[in-house]
Amino acid sequence: MDPRLGELSGPARLAGPDEDISAAELGLAARNHGLPLEAMVDDLTPPGLHYVLVHYDIPRVRPGAEWPVTVGGRVRRPLTLDVAELRLRHPATCRVTMECAGNGRARLEPRPISQPWLVEAVGTAEWTGVPLGEVLAEAEVEDAAVEVVFTGADHGIERGVEQDYRRSLPLAEAMRPEVLLAYEMNGLPLPPQHGHPLRLVVPGWYGMAHVKWLRGISVVDTPFTGFQQAAAYRIRRSPDDPGRPVTRMAPRALLVPPGFPDFLSRARVLRPGPVLLEGRAWSGTSPVRAVEVSTDDGRSWTAADLDAAGGHPWAWQSWQARWTATPGSHVLCARATDADGHTQPLEQAWNTGGFCNNAVQRVPVLCVPAAGPDGDPVRDPGHDPG
Ligand SMILES: Nc1nc2c(c(=O)[nH]1)N[C@H]1C(S)=C(S)[C@@H](COP(=O)(O)O)O[C@H]1N2
Ligand SMILES: [Mo]
């Protein structure tokens, strides 16, 4: 490794006690956008509103160009698949809620310096493609196989290590029938930012497993130790802690933002009276069994009405609760518990990479009566959102 590559970003770092978001973090946040939370009113997220995370560059794929995907390693019949050929096979579709493992990172103290997500790195789409297990069966996986390694076409540097984006899955996970080689999102060809022309979709797992711009599938007989597996995406309490791998999504509930926002602070404003609180909840290990809401910053909780998973076990569920807003300041919260009994903490246990922070969302709201005839808003000349 050329030491100059390591100097480009320097070592992994935590923000100082009062250190604001840097221009580098802002640059990442501008490229990697989140879901506008008001879009959670719909079951499916339109592609342009689904969160995006791209470690390096979106590869250029010319329209109509061939896209050979190799299937090799510990298989008896190595294959080369073309996306056009995959499209002729019997398709499978799965509705999947996908969330970045770094969602919630910017709320940790100290803040690990990286993509600074608050809570918005999530989206739900219907992915159509070919079950990976069918392709692996066709390639005849050898008995010695333990994992399958997936390589994307994007290339870059991370903490001094030059690499293609690459991740592995244990063989048993790769063979799950709902794991797809997907070429469509919500019934249309994948958009460039979501992996056109082919990506892996691993329902239940955090986003990093869903390798985009997929060009290689390799079956291996020892656990994969590439950067994104062994160095990144591990829950570590300290830099020398070997840690444990990030895998499935922890439970989380989010509120559709109630009322209307203040432009800059995004603080929510609403009127006194009945308010329907609603949102979405998901978990990667088992369906969400209960959602509770709090209107007093987590001091007391009441059960919300939770819609059944309804044939979409890998997608978020919607929930609703009624509340009568009274004038003043309130902090609204929602908390999901899944069928395995995993629930969301009020305070997050910290880890060096800032992964899996599913601490309960806090939504401050200001309840004010409607402006009277004399209370028309005055334009603030110092504030131009353009
Ligand atoms: N090839 C490749 N695949 C990738 C990534 C990437 O940078 N390159 N990012 C991963 C991460 S960290 C996430 S969270 C998801 C994001 O998928 P989306 O942008 O379609 O929402 O893609 C994953 N797959
Ligand atoms: Mo991610």
Q: What is the pLDDT of residues 315-360, one digit of tens each?
A: 999 999 999 999 999 999 999 999 999 999 999 889 999 999 999 9
CB 79 within 8 A of CB 32: no
- Does 120 map to a domain? yes
pLDDT in tens, 365-382: 999 998 766 655 555 556
Q: Are residue 121 and residue 190 in the same domain, yes or no?
A: yes
Q: Are residue 290 and residue 322 in the same domain, yes or no?
A: yes
Q: Cβ neighbours of residue 130 under 8 Å, at least 6 residues apart?
A: 86, 89, 90, 91, 92, 180, 181
227 vs 372: which has the higher pLDDT: 227
Q: Are residue 127 and residue 66 in the same domain, yes or no?
A: yes
Distance between Cα 144 and ligand 2 center (Å): 30
Q: Are residue 40 and residue 138 in the same domain, yes or no?
A: yes
- Does 378 map to a domain? no
If phi over 0 gives left and psi between -120 and 50 gives alpha, with beta otherwise, what is residue 208?
alpha
Domain that holds residue 42: 3-245
Quote the CA–CA distance of 52 and 283 in Å, as a whole number.
20
Where does a domain end: 245, 260, 282?
245
Q: Point out the ligand 1 atom lying closest to the alpha carbon of residue 100.
A: 14
Quote the CA–CA distance of 288 and 371 in Å, as a whole number.
40
Give yes or no for residue 211 CB within 6 A of ligand 1.
yes
- Does 124 map to a domain? yes
CB 145 within 8 A of CB 217: no
| Predicted local confidence at residue 279, as pLDDT | 98
Give yes or no for residue 111 CB within 6 A of ligand 1.
no
The full length of the chain comes to: 386
Tokens of 229: 């597996």
- At residue 285, what are phi and psi to the nearest 5 degrees? -100, -35
- CATH number of the domain to which 285 belongs: 2.60.40.650
| Predicted local confidence at residue 385, as pLDDT | 64
Q: Are residue 259 and residue 210 in the same domain, yes or no?
A: no
Q: Are residue 202 and residue 272 in the same domain, yes or no?
A: no
CB 233 within 8 A of CB 101: yes
Q: Are residue 229 and residue 309 in the same domain, yes or no?
A: no
Q: Cβ neighbours of residue 23 under 8 Å, at least 6 residues apart?
A: none
Residue nearest to atom 23 of ligand 1 (CA): 208
- CATH number of the domain to which 223 belongs: 3.90.420.10
| Predicted local confidence at residue 376, as pLDDT | 55
Q: Are residue 167 and residue 197 in the same domain, yes or no?
A: yes
Q: Are residue 156 and residue 256 in the same domain, yes or no?
A: no
Distance between Cα 66 and ligand 1 center (Å): 22
Q: Are residue 71 and residue 207 in the same domain, yes or no?
A: yes
* Tally of domains within the chain: 2
Distance between Cα 112 and ligand 2 center (Å): 14
| Predicted local confidence at residue 370, as pLDDT | 86
pLDDT in tens, 183-225: 999 999 999 999 999 999 999 999 999 999 999 999 999 999 9
Where does a domain end: 230, 245, 260?
245
Cis peptide before 258 (omega within 30 of 0): no
DSSP 7: H
- Does 27 map to a domain? yes
CA-to-CA separations, 309 to 43, 46, 57, 314, 315, in angstroms, rounded: 11, 20, 35, 8, 7
Give yes or no for residue 50 CB within 6 A of ligand 1.
yes
pLDDT in tens, 149-191: 999 999 999 999 999 999 999 999 999 999 999 999 999 999 9
- Does 8 map to a domain? yes
Q: What mean pLDDT is reported for the chain?
A: 95
Where does a domain end: 245, 278, 310?
245
Distance between Cα 9 and ligand 1 center (Å): 20
Q: Are residue 196 and residue 81 in the same domain, yes or no?
A: yes
CB 332 within 8 A of CB 290: no
- Does 105 map to a domain? yes
| Predicted local confidence at residue 35, as pLDDT | 98
Residue 48 has pLDDT above 80, yes or no: yes
| Predicted local confidence at residue 309, as pLDDT | 82
Quote the CA–CA distance of 368 and 120 in Å, as a whole number.
27
221-235 average pLDDT score: 98
Q: Are residue 304 and residue 330 in the same domain, yes or no?
A: yes
- Does 383 map to a domain? no
| Predicted local confidence at residue 310, as pLDDT | 83
- Does 266 map to a domain? yes
| Predicted local confidence at residue 148, as pLDDT | 99
Give yes or no for residue 233 CB within 6 A of ligand 1.
no
For 363, the enclosing helix (H) or strand (E) is strand 361-367
CA-to-CA separations, 136 to 7, 150, 168, in angstroms, rounded: 40, 13, 14
pLDDT in tens, 79-130: 999 999 999 999 999 999 999 999 999 999 999 999 999 999 999 999 999 9
| Displacement of CA 73 from its chain's centroid (Å) | 30
